[in-house]
Structure 1
Amino acid sequence: MAPEIFHSFLSGGTGYSFEVDWWSLGIMAYELLRGWRPYDIHSNNPVESLVQLFSTVSVQYSSAWSKEMVALLRKLLTVNPEHRFSCLAHIQASAQLSAVVWSDVCEKRVEPAFVPNKGRLHCDPTFELEEMILESRPLHKKKKRLAKNKSRDNSKDSSQSENDYLQECLEAIQQDFVIFNREKLKKSQEQPSESVSASETADEAEAEAEPLHMCSSVCSSGSS
Structure 2
Amino acid sequence: MYAMKYMNKQQCIERDEVRNVFRELEILQEIEHVFLVNLWYSFQDEEDMFMVVDLLLGGDLRYHLQQNVQFTEETVKLYICEMALALDYLRSQHIIHRDVKPDNILLDEQGHAHLTDFNIATIIRDGERATALAGTKPYMAPEIFHSFLNGGTGYSFEVDWWSLGIMAYELLRVSAVPNARRAVSCVPQKGRLHCDPTFELEEMILESRPLHKKKKRLAKNKSRDNSKDSSQSENDYLQECLEAIQQDFVIFNREK
TM-score normalised to structure 2 length: 0.23
Pick 1 or 2: higher relative contact order, CA cutoff 8 A, min separation 6.
Answer: 2
Greater share of helix: 1
Structure with higher Rg: it is 1
Greater share of strand: 2
